[in-house]
Structure 1
Amino acid sequence: MMDFLIPVLRTSVSFILLLFVTFSIGKHIGSHKNYYSFALSVVIGSFIANMGFDTALSFKEMTVAFLTLVILFYLFNSISSRSRSLRKWLSGRPTVLIEKGKLLEENMKKVKFSIDDLNQHLREKNVFNIYEVEFALLEVDGELSILKKKPYQSLTKQDLHIPHSNENLPVELVMDGKVIDKNVDDKYNREWIESEFRKRNLKIEEVYYAVINSNGSLFVDKYKDHLQSPVDVE
């Protein structure tokens, strides 16, 4: 019985530790925006696997080593946020591959980046003609950031002199047939919600999802959509 119980307990504690670490520093290690966050995510996975399944290793010592690693990462992260020179050393810097429309061959050799690699990354950015690119930088996480030449840049509202209007975050009012009380305020109160639903001949319990969009309009989705042949594809 103990042979069965010990792995269960080790795995449970390891999982709880992983959740704690994820909630604490998950945004830093999950994005893989620099070298050490990527390395840490790999090492954490290895630690958790060994802590949960390898009963030949001391769980106490593994836990101490695991927590030490996390604390060191947190300390380095805190220090690097205050030191630009340390941040460059830990996080690395982007590499310029195209400057003023010219390919920088030496920089491409340094990062082992071929023309085929560059073209693939450009296509992923919906750029099929390299002469459209003014600047291209290879970021630390391997993503390519590009700035197109002015004739090939997309138009903006400012270019068309369209008046700018402020937009707000969407406000979810109803989910699964229930009003989300924390989002109800003086403007979007329960009476206002019921009034809007009455205009649509709906009751709150008939609504699957209702949200005030960023432009201020109300979007309502019912449980019963009455679609003749809904697409059944995930």
Structure 2
Amino acid sequence: MKKVTNDMGKTTAERGRGRPKIYSDAQRRKTIIDEARRAFIEEGFRATTIAKVAARCRISKQTIYESFDSKTELFKAVVGDHRRMMLDLPRPENEDDDPDVILERIFLIDVDEETEKERNSFLAFAFEEARDVPELAEFIRREGADPSRSDLADWLEGQVARGRLKIDNTSSAARMLMDMLLGPTGPGRHDWSTREDRRRHLRWCIDFFLAGTAVR
């Protein structure tokens, strides 16, 4: 907004052209991804359209196309966002806590109940949709599980390089950790009476893994 002088000699504010920018680009992108995830869960992959996501966000389709070329690209972003809801990776470079503490953060052991329900809803959607749209299973693996395992292997490699862990094959170790800690977190699991019981189990899994990879 700039100031101009009117015919009376008074200074007034002149509004710029166009609608005011309420959200930052990052905030708008997050809103689009969040609403797209909910649309995919509620309506399925095939029934969800860019128009429906735009309506949920109260923006135009063109605004979405400024960030995402297609529904497939939008779904790719949703999978990537969900991946970080499952594993908090990569980690800050200056993180210096003990490996057990960091692994609890990576696997979001203390995730709040609302976030847990939301991420499990997407997993349930993914499992169901993969039956009807087989190519989605490969897409989710390529954009979700594989990058997560690679990021985790990189973190383990860093711990090995620092002399904190002893692991011969960090890729296999990452796969093992994900099987141990993500297996009990999926939708429909009722193995524990309370969420705290499950957290104790996950911490035991971490301790078990670290006992076998400790530097002696």
Write 1 or 2 for the structure with the bigger share of helix: 2
Structure of greater Rg = 1
TM-score with structure 1 setting the length: 0.22
TM-score with structure 2 setting the length: 0.23
Work out which structure has the larger RCO, using CA pairs closer than 8 Å and 6 or more positions apart in sequence: 2
